[in-house]
Chains A and B, each alone.
Chain A
Amino acid sequence: MIDDVVQEYTKRIIEYGAKSEKVRIALSRAIKAFENNRRNALGMFPQSIDTAKEVRKIKEYSIEHMDKLIKKACESIERNHGHCYYAKTKEEALQIFKELVGTGKLIVKSKSLTSEEIHLREFLEELGNEVYETDLGEFIVQLMGTRPTHILAPAINVPREDVAKLLSKFMKEQGIIEEDLDERDIEAMVAVVRKFLRDKFFKADIGINGANALAADTGTMFIIENEGNARLSIGAPPVQIAIVGVEKIVPTIEDAFKVTEVTWRYANYTVPAYVNLVSGPSKTGDIEKVITYGAHGPKELHVILLDNGRTRMHEEGYNEALYCLRCGTCLYECPVYAVTAGFFGQQYMGGIGAIWDAFTTVGLEKASPVAYTCVRCGKCKVMCPLNIDIPDMIAKLRNDARKQGYIPKVVRDFAAEVEEFIKEQK
């Protein structure tokens, strides 16, 4: 029932988000750092502002031609000796993973919102696999047993003091350290995670990754990162499996470069430490030009293209949500997110997250209170590199929610007053 959904959501966003001084302080620090970094990044490379306009056009074209691009991307991946799969639903994607992974494997995973969308790690763990998130923020979130609260910085709401406590406990249990970590010493925290995960990268049977863009003409995935965990997850294990939302496909490799450039610039990097380009499994032709797969990197590459509501999003007029680069700008700019972090959302976050939640994760009923958390102030639209009209889509989503009877009581009561007024006037 919608009233229960709203009650549960309201309790969560107020108790864990709004009332938490920790969340507020952590976000205040992060937002200031973001503003500084963005100023540096865009100040140094202002051409990205115009490239963003081009990217908007690329995305418009790509979403209109999604079917064609899926087919073309798959052909390219297969041509490169990768294996391509199309999963219409979350269940289909998980079934493909089940068949590819099986049980009893050690898996290293790099950050991927698309994998979060289908609860991939939990699913693989239930199958009896040992799975590690390797992005530091995701690793922290995994240890906490919670969920990411920012699309780029998953543990943005966790202050260093809590991270030190969490890592101290876990790493002592693992025999990596003997003494508690100093809560001021972030470097030591990073080092201890490096030590722990390094071993996992090289022992892992499978590496899993997402992608920021996928070029249909070459089948090349672009993966932006800073930590180096993605390239280790991609490069070290013998098998690589990628899960990529179909909205990430663009026609050409040049387009994909533009998409990734704008993504990292607005994600406030002058330039990221790494941009990984993966088109196929590892290969060599160094002995008599005989192409042999699995030289140093993975011998197998599997790419799962996930629809899971994206086509429906397009069909129902939410195209612009599919343009989203996940640069995170709108979250940093949102006055509501600044006090609630990812509790403003179900699985995805913020205003844009309400649309994604409605179509790909929890459905319209549970997305409804998220849509009513957005104040439609429009700052996100102004700041978004692609000028995505989140407020407009929120209004549309609320109307769709009303048609299904998913309106919070406070809004229903207000509408009833308006109806009364209309009746009086008639």
Chain B
Amino acid sequence: MRIMLHGWDTSHRMGVPEICDSMTSIVKKMGHEYVPNESKVICAEAIGFLGYDNLTDDFAKATVKEMEEKVSKYDIDLILTAYAAPYAAWSKEREGFLVKRGYELPVPIEHIATFLYKNLDKLKFKELDMTVLMHDGCTLGRKMRVADEPRKVLEKIPKLKYVNFDHPELYVKERDLKPWDISACPGGWLDFTLPELMPYVASNVIREYALPREVDTIVTTCGNGYHAFKAGVKHGGFDIKAMAYPMLIDMALEGVQ
């Protein structure tokens, strides 16, 4: 398969190229070819909730046009992303925001977690003797309910243990809240709206929710969230690592059977 990696520009612009590195590595280990999508395209839903709904349709059309060109030029089979927003906007399977608005990408889009889950039988992992704190991105977990998939993949990694990010025991069982309902956001989107505030929010989320759990790594399914956690770790001077979901997977993935 030839896979277009989406979110390339965003990752580089935010100073988290390691997301791209791990995505590239995973794709290669799985025996696929990759093409980075270096354009500024983000999901056209985000521009709407940033206050520019007037650009949503034009942006969606422009995105489709660019994707059609690239798909035919590079013979792309799939678009893959570590970010939740483009998946939430464009996934046909999940009836994404823009799909409902009548737009369609020329090939399917997957989030790295759903992609790995769909290939779970084939994946070969080595042991990872560590315990991580699993953070569900707000869009992916709370909004889209994509929470089992990333966990099932983690469960396949020998020796790896994960604990959920929040303290579900603090909530009332009658409300039937899931860990992904209550997962606290480290404020990744603030980078687009009030960047000065992001490190404070992220470091406090780490301090309040992650440090008491006695794990050495936070792993998040949200690309923006990783960016925020990374800034929060630095800001707080904490002795804890942050990882984007594909970074952790890449550490364990050996290849496919």
B-side interface size class? 35 or more
Question: B62 within 8 Å of A by Cβ?
Answer: yes
Assess whether B170 is in contact with A35, with CB atoms less than 8 Å apart: yes
Report A-chain residues with C-beta under 8 Å of the C-beta of B39: 421
Q: In the bound complex, how far is the Cα of B172 from the Cα of A263, in angstroms?
A: 16
Report A-chain residues with C-beta under 8 Å of the C-beta of B190: 336, 373, 375
Question: B51 within 8 Å of A by Cβ?
Answer: yes
- Chain B: minimal CB distance from A261 (Å): 15
Q: In the bound complex, how far is the Cα of B50 from the Cα of A86, in angstroms?
A: 37
- Chain B: minimal CB distance from A332 (Å): 11
Q: Choose the segment among B14-22, B98-106, B126-134, B174-182 that binds chain A (4+ C-beta atoms closer than 8 Å).
A: B174-182
User: Across the two chains, which residue of chain A brings its CB closest to B172?
Assistant: A42
Looking at the complex, which one of A38, A338, A422 makes contact with B55 (CB distance below 8 Å)?
A422
Among B181-205, those with CB < 8 Å from A are 181-190, 192-197, 200-201, 204-205
Given contacts A43-B172, A49-B174, A382-B182, contact A338 B204 (CB under 8 A): yes
Map CB proximity to B onto A4-27 as digits: 1 under 8 Å, 0 otherwise. 000000100110001100001000
Q: Choose the segment among A58-66, A125-133, A214-222, A398-406 that binds chain B (4+ C-beta atoms closer than 8 Å).
A: A398-406
Question: B143 within 8 Å of A by Cβ?
Answer: yes
Map CB proximity to A onto B133-163 as digits: 1 under 8 Å, 0 otherwise. 0000010001100000000000000000000
- Chain B: minimal CB distance from A24 (Å): 6
Question: B31 within 8 Å of A by Cβ?
Answer: no
User: Across the two chains, which residue of chain B brings its CB closest to A19?
Assistant: B200
Report B-chain residues with C-beta under 8 Å of the C-beta of A326: none
Question: A102 within 8 Å of B by Cβ?
Answer: no
Number of interface residues of A (CB under 8 A): 52
Q: In the bound complex, how far is the Cα of B32 from the Cα of A235, in angstroms?
A: 77
Q: A410-B194, A415-B51, A422-B55 are in contact. List 9 more A-B contacts (CB 8 A).
A: A18-B197, A339-B200, A373-B190, A376-B189, A414-B192, A418-B40, A421-B62, A425-B61, A425-B66
Q: In the bound complex, how far is the Cα of B170 from the Cα of A35, in angstroms?
A: 6
Assess whether A402 is in contact with B177, with CB atoms less than 8 Å apart: no
Q: In the bound complex, how far is the Cα of B186 from the Cα of A417, in angstroms?
A: 25
Assess whether A382 is in contact with B142, with CB atoms less than 8 Å apart: yes
Report B-chain residues with C-beta under 8 Å of the C-beta of A401: 51
Assess whether B172 is in contact with A38, with CB atoms less than 8 Å apart: yes
Most buried by B among A14, A38, A382: A382
Assess whether B40 is in contact with A18, with CB atoms less than 8 Å apart: no
Assess whether A418 is in contact with B52, with CB atoms less than 8 Å apart: yes
Q: In the bound complex, how far is the Cα of B49 from the Cα of A407, in angstroms?
A: 12
Report B-chain residues with C-beta under 8 Å of the C-beta of A395: 48-49, 51, 53
Question: A147 within 8 Å of B by Cβ?
Answer: no
Question: A287 within 8 Å of B by Cβ?
Answer: no
Question: B74 within 8 Å of A by Cβ?
Answer: no
Looking at the complex, which one of B51, B65, B173 makes contact with A399 (CB distance below 8 Å)?
B51
Assess whether B55 is in contact with A415, with CB atoms less than 8 Å apart: yes
Map CB proximity to B onto A324-345 as digits: 1 under 8 Å, 0 otherwise. 0000000000011011100000
